[in-house]
Structure formats: C-alpha cells, structure tokens
C-alpha cells in the first residue's frame, strides 16, 4: 500500500465527515458557498500541515529528494500524510466509524484549535 492510495481513501472520508460536521455546526446557514468555505478549512493542505507541526508528527515522515520544509510541495505532502493516516485507520478497522471517530476526535478539534490560536495572534 502506498501513501497516495491511503490518502485517496482518507481524503474521501475526510470530505464526508467535514461536510457533516459543518452542516450540523452551522444549522442556520443557508448559503451554500459559506458552507463550502467552512468545510474547506478542514480539507486544506495548509491546515492539515499545521497538524503535523502542532503535534510534531513531521518527525515520523521522511521524504526522499530535495523537498524544502514549508514549500508548496512540503505542504501538499503533509496534507497527503494526514489523509493517509485517515485512510490507514479506515483500512485497519475496515470500518468507517473508526475513521470518523478519529477525524471527529483528532483532526477537527486540532484544526479548530490551530485556527482559533492563529486568529488571535
């Protein structure tokens, strides 16, 4: 199994869970574009990359070649890394509920914390 295949399934699950989360969080929102904008916060590579910084997950990720920390390529790879973790959780348990719990208990709260911390600075 390679990183891209794991990230493919993880991305789809993250999309679904983030959609449901935003839909329930903004019950009174009727403008579709606003809901899309909110959901994208949980899908953007730059925010997923912040999780790798926040929890120092980057120490577990080795990249061959000349990828520069903080570059667009690096940010994309870190987003892919987080999506791959979601995919691995799903495949390990063969159960979407496990991946959903991981996203709801780890990904979404960390992104909310990171974004609220950055907006206060």
The answer to whether residues 100 and 18 touch, using CB atoms and an 8 Å cutoff, is: no
**Whole-angstrom distance, CA of residue 84 vs CA of residue 38:** 22
Query: Among residues 11, 16, 55, 112, which one is catalytic?
Result: 11
Q: Which helix (H) or strand (E) holds 13?
A: helix 3-25
Is 83 in the active site? Answer: yes
Query: Among residues 83, 92, 104, 112, which one is catalytic?
Result: 83
Assign residue 70 a region: left if phi > 0, alpha if psi is -120 to 50, beta otherwise? left
- Catalytic site residues? 11, 83
């Amino acid at each position: 199994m390679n990183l891209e295949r794991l990230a493919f399934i993880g991305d789809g699950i993250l999309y679904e869970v983030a959609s449901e989360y935003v839909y329930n969080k903004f019950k009174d929102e009727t403008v579709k574009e606003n809901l899309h904008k909110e959901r994208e916060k949980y899908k953007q590579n730059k925010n997923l990359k912040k999780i790798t910084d926040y929890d120092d997950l980057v120490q577990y990720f080795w990249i061959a070649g000349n990828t520069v920390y903080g570059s667009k390529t690096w940010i994309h790879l870190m987003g892919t890394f987080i999506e791959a973790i979601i995919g691995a959780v799903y495949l390990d348990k063969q159960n979407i509920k496990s991946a959903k719990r991981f996203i709801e208990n780890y990904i979404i709260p960390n992104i909310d914390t990171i974004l609220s911390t950055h907006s206060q600075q």
